[in-house]
Structure 1
Amino acid sequence: MQTVIFDMDGVLVDTEPVHRYAYFRHFEELGLAVTDAEYATFTGRSTKNVYQHLKDQHGLAPAVQELVMGKRAHFNRAFDEKPDLELLPGVRALIDDLHQHGLELLLASSASHSTIDRVMRRFALAPYFSHRLSGEDFARSKPDPAIFAHAAAVARSPAARCVVIEDSSNGVAAAKAAGLYCIGYDSIHSPSQDLQLADLVVADFGELSAARIAGLAL
């Protein structure tokens, strides 16, 4: 393997509590009653896709982009004010190891460009990633494979030498539908996710290294 494609939320950083806070504050403003079970199905999907689903289901009057911006305002404020937001344990060491050994790193996240940029700036990660892809640029969210198919297309290595690291059922399904090797990250921050389609499942980034990933094969 020569290229590693990272998801962001739940893989690089645990922004899920911030997203949940922002969504439910916005749901309250909209008068929507969203259950925890329904909210769990949104994991790995873009905000645009989530609001298109809610608009279709509940007949919401505002345009999808207006709904997205309403939620984003809550998220940005909470993200900027959260002092204890850190990269997930072991992920910076893994990124450094991969980079030092010459593997290419890409980001393919359902998050918006705005959120991706915030994470990149806060943790000084931008120099490590050759491409940063956002789900808001694709008509369909994970589990649709479009974002990972595009990531493999822009990578400097062929698809057979690309590996995806994902923490969600939707993300793993998308990676496999794109024909890519997938490492499932069984994170305590992403509960109730089915990772059985993944080629390899790890619970700690200490289980991974540049040498181990480079030696993986489809």
Structure 2
Amino acid sequence: MIKTVIFDMDGVIVDTEPVHRYAYYKQFSELDVEVTEEMYTSFTGLSTRNTFQKIKEFFPVVQHEVEDLIQRKRTIFNDAFDTKEDLFLLEGVEDLIKDLYANDIQLILASSASKVTIDRVFTRFNLHQYFTHIVSGEDFPQSKPNPAIFIHAASLSVAPKENCIVIEDSTNGVKAAKGAGIYCVGYNSFHSKMQDLSEADLVINEFNELNAQKISQL
């Protein structure tokens, strides 16, 4: 029986991808590098640190320190986030979160996003009350598909990892969940393009396909 649900955030709980995309491409323009759509898509699920490490590998012309690149991107993102009015939770996810919480299923967040970004999202949508733990990718040297973030999240569960599931929307996220040995629900998010969810144990298109009763029996 499932006792804990581990949620990804971007593309699962909220779609901040357009804000991230705006911030990244504004910064790429400042750095005078041309990032293709294919390359940008390959960054899905990576932390900002790992993304800029890859950018520096691809574009040796970028001489800035990774920490400086991270801070600049964070500034652009935060400015855009604070002025963006059309930012909503993804359809059906709030009902699912409340249903799980009401049925005593533990909720843990494991997101590649920074703690600052997670806190902004959780504060804006009043989500802190539902989650027992928040795990940020910035605390791990390697991003998804490395399974470290999910191994750690599962260690915070009230039950063994066999009684946990992960909800993910990205290729890298699904690989990380499976690498951690955890049952994975792939969410075929409209907002997450060109992602391969074939390794997921179950794929859903809408959150109304899930509820506490169904999840507890997975």
Q: TM-score range, shorter-chain basis? A: over 0.9
Q: TM-score, normalised by structure 2?
A: 0.98
Shift of 1:56: 2.3
- Spell out structure 1 runs of 4+ moving beyond 6 A: none
Deviations along 1:27-74, one digit per CA (max 9) or x if unpaired, are 000111100110000000100000011112222211111101111111
Query: Which letter maps to 1:49?
Result: N
**Counterpart among 183, 192, 195 of residue 193 in structure 1:** 195
Identity %: 56
Distance in 1 between residues matched to 2:214 and 2:136, nearest whole Å: 27
Matched, 1:75 2:77: yes
Matching residue of 1:121: 123
Matched, 1:65 2:62: no
Distance in 1 between residues matched to 2:13 and 2:95, nearest whole Å: 11
Query: Which letter maps to 1:8?
Result: M
Matching residue of 1:153: 155
Distance in 2 between residues matched to 1:113 and 1:18, nearest whole Å: 16
Distance in 1 between residues matched to 2:50 and 2:158, nearest whole Å: 29
Deviations along 1:65-109, one digit per CA (max 9) or x if unpaired, are 110111111110111100010000000000000000000000000
Matched, 1:43 2:19: no
Query: Which letter maps to 2:156?
Result: V
Query: Which letter maps to 1:58?
Result: F
Query: Which letter maps to 1:149?
Result: I
Matching residue of 1:205: 207
Distance in 2 between residues matched to 1:155 and 1:210, nearest whole Å: 17
Matched, 1:24 2:31: no
| Secondary structure at 1:92 match in 2 | helix
Matching residue of 1:181: 183
| Secondary structure at 1:194 match in 2 | coil
Distance in 1 between residues matched to 2:33 and 2:132, nearest whole Å: 39
Matching residue of 1:12: 13
Runs of at least 5 residues in structure 1 that lack an aligned partner in the other structure: none
Distance in 2 between residues matched to 1:84 and 1:54, nearest whole Å: 29
**Structure-to-structure mapping, 1:165-180, within 5 angstroms:** 165-180=167-182
Distance in 2 between residues matched to 1:192 and 1:9, nearest whole Å: 15
Query: Which letter maps to 1:13?
Result: V
| Secondary structure at 1:187 match in 2 | coil
| Secondary structure at 2:185 match in 1 | strand
| Secondary structure at 1:132 match in 2 | strand
| Secondary structure at 1:4 match in 2 | strand
| Secondary structure at 2:191 match in 1 | coil
Matching residue of 1:214: 216
